[in-house]
Copies of this chain bind each other. A is one copy, B any other.
């Protein structure tokens, strides 16, 4: 179908979801310089780090230093992942704008990722959200394994609705629906969204696709057709998939932008500045960044 140009919001998650799935520790000053570049690329939202305990995510052990060291560009929201009240304390001390809390739509993944059942996780998230809101911060919710679980396979959409409703009841302003292992196809995205949009407004939901099977851009396209306008992505395709080492991770911001720009969508993001940020971080990663745009640009004059 013909999609008329409209505004699309890109939420950059490379500094968090990208880096946490890379084996390299990027120097704190490099992280700060890189995030500053991203801040000046026209992005309005950057998830800059995670306050999960460094034991679990050593790549982001410098969360506080990064959050305190970066330039705060007006108009840009600086968010961070926060697992619980203790993480929130550190995030608040580092003056994070928005707090992201998370759980899975499937028990198997929630147990593996958080080491608790969904039922045990909810009160922890509720407490975190309550305290964040009390501190004047907005809260975002992530739901993982919306389109499939590495342990359970298919995930009933009813489970997604249940945890999404629980997050909204906690006062989150937006829920990001994650295809954590990158198994979704456009038809499934259509069918799941058709159900979800009977319960939630498109403006309350973001789509968070991983490109494990190369479906991410097509899934975005279908999401846009269904009325969705907020997408998470990672510059250069930074990141990976813990369940398929070597496979692609997050949808690449630059590939997403190539499509959106070509379709006349308004994102406010400057492709050249975004590319400069990707070229800056690439040598720090010790590998070529996997986005198609980066692969195609390596040899361009």
Contacts and interface: CB of A to CB of B under 8 A. Distances in A.
B296 A255 contact: no
A190 interface: yes
Interface string A282-301: 00000000011101101110
How many copies of this chain does the complex contain? 2
Given A214-B292, A217-B217, A188 B299 contact: no
A263 B187 contact: yes
30 contacts: A1-B190, A3-B187, A185-B263, A186-B221, A186-B263, A187-B262, A187-B263, A187-B264, A188-B262, A211-B292, A212-B292, A212-B296, A213-B255, A213-B293, A214-B214, A214-B217, A214-B293, A215-B255, A215-B262, A217-B217, A218-B220, A218-B259, A221-B221, A244-B295, A244-B296, A246-B295, A246-B296, A247-B292, A247-B298, A248-B292
In the A-B complex, the 8 residue pairs with the smallest Cβ-Cβ separation, listed nearest first, are A185-B262, A214-B292, A187-B263, A247-B296, A214-B255, A218-B218, A217-B218, A244-B296
Contacts of A215: 217, 255, 258-259, 262, 292
A185 B293 CA distance: 13
Contact of A299 (B3, B244, B263, B292): B244
Interface string A1-44: 11100000000000000000000000000000000000000000
Interface residues of A, number: 44
Contacts of A211: 292
Contacts of A298: 246-247
Nearest to A211: B292
Contact of A295 (B188, B218, B248): B248
A53 B88 CA distance: 67
Contact of A2 (B187, B259, B299): B187
A259 B218 CA distance: 9
A241 interface: yes
A201 interface: no
A185 B292 contact: no
